[in-house]
Each structure stands twice: as C-alpha cells, then as structure tokens.
Chains A and B, each alone.
Chain A
Amino acid sequence: SQELEQSPQSLIVQEGKNLTINCTSSKTLYGLYWYKQKYGEGLIFLMMLQKGGEEKSHEKITAKLDEKKQQSSLHITASQPSHAGIYLCGAATQGGSEKLVFGKGTKLTVNP
C-alpha cells in the first residue's frame, strides 16, 4: 500500500524565515494535495499538484511536485505567525481513485 512520509515532523522558526516541508511517497503520486490544520479544527485545502514538475503558489506558499512524481515540497517564504499549524500531504492511491492516503503531518511553530 502507498505510504507518505513527511519531514520534518515538527519545525520551529523565527518570524520572517523561510522554510520547507517535504512529502515523499513510496509509489508514483496520482495527485498530491496539501492541507493545513489548526489544532482542533478541520483541514483547509491549500493546493493540488498532478503533473511532474508542476509548481503552484498561493500568497507566500509554493508547492512543487518533482518530475518523477514521488516527492513534493511545500515552501513558505517570510513566515508569519498565521502560518503556524499542522501541514499534511495527501495523495490519491491510484489513478482515478476516490481515496486519499495522508502523511502524519508537520507541525509548524512560528515565533514572533
């Protein structure tokens, strides 16, 4: 079965610093989703990547999917306290599947 490994598990940065979170799959990714979760709340959809080499940005967050479609990275530029939370990657288990598997998440703390 497909597994997603996220690194690091947790990250503490100073406000204004850049950071990167990685998501690695044991199999080819058929759609890679990034979500953000505040403690005790639901997941908020950030971005979805499908094609090898694809890159998307929203405000100060950029997500990339590598050419081999087995690794994705989430990069935050000039982090702010509002970026704090848990970031999860999710992936379709196979082409056309309705189901997603998720990584265990990366907990981000941004100190002012």
Chain B
Amino acid sequence: SQTIHQWPATLVQPVGSPLSLECTVEGTSNPNLYWYRQAAGRGLQLLFYSVGIGQISSEVPQNLSASRPQDRQFILSSKKLLLSDSGFYLCAWSRQGGKDTQYFGPGTRLTVL
C-alpha cells in the first residue's frame, strides 16, 4: 500500500529565515505530487504540482519554490520567510493520467514570527 510522509510536523521560524519542507511517497512510482497551503478563512490553495522529476508547475506567484529531485520526493523551499507564509502545508500525490484521487500527507504547521 502507498503511504505519504511529511516532515517536520511543526515548525516555528523567524522572518527572513530559510525554509525546507519535505514530502516523500512510498509504494508507488511516477506519481503526480502537489503542495497545498491551508490558511484560516482561505481554504486549500494549490501552490505547486509536479508530473515528473524536475517538472514543476507554479500556481501562485509567491515567496516559495518547489523541487522534485527524485521520483517520490517533493520539497518546498523559501530563501527568506515572510509572516504571510505561516499556515498549514499539505503534500498530496495521485497516480498519473489525470482525474485520479489525490491522497494527502499529515501536513506541516508553519508559524513565522
């Protein structure tokens, strides 16, 4: 069976510091991978998605970037965090081919002070 991991579970960072959140999927190959942010009152916002190694699509211009160095690894980064980057970050995966269910990781709670 497939599992998806995210770490860290929680993170408190000062403004201007760098960020690296990691997501890994087990039990499947060549998945689509997604990064979402969930902020209070704003729902679930798609940030990036990837259909393969090195292929990243950005949905919203922002202070963040994503990379996919390996087939089942997805990383969310920032060089300098802003207060507005605080939120709950969720990684998800789906099988290739479109219209397939997305399965979510446990999430990372990021607080920028």
Tell me the A residues contacting B by CB distance below 8 Å: 30-31, 33, 35, 40-45, 48, 50, 88, 90, 92, 95-105
Contacts and interface: CB of A to CB of B under 8 A. Distances in A.
Nearest to A100: B102
B109 A45 contact: no
B25 interface: no
Contact of A45 (B46, B59, B101): B101
Contacts of B94: 98
Interface residues of B, number: 23
Contacts of B49: 98-99
A45 B101 CA distance: 8
Contacts of B102: 33, 45, 90, 100
Contacts of A105: 43-44
Given A40-B109, A98-B94, A88 B101 contact: no
Interface in B45-87: 46, 49, 51, 59
Contacts of B59: 99
A102 B101 contact: no
B9 to A, nearest CB: 9
B21 interface: no
Given A95-B99, A105-B43, A105-B44, 7 more contacts: A30-B99, A41-B106, A45-B102, A48-B101, A90-B44, A92-B99, A99-B46
A43 B99 CA distance: 17
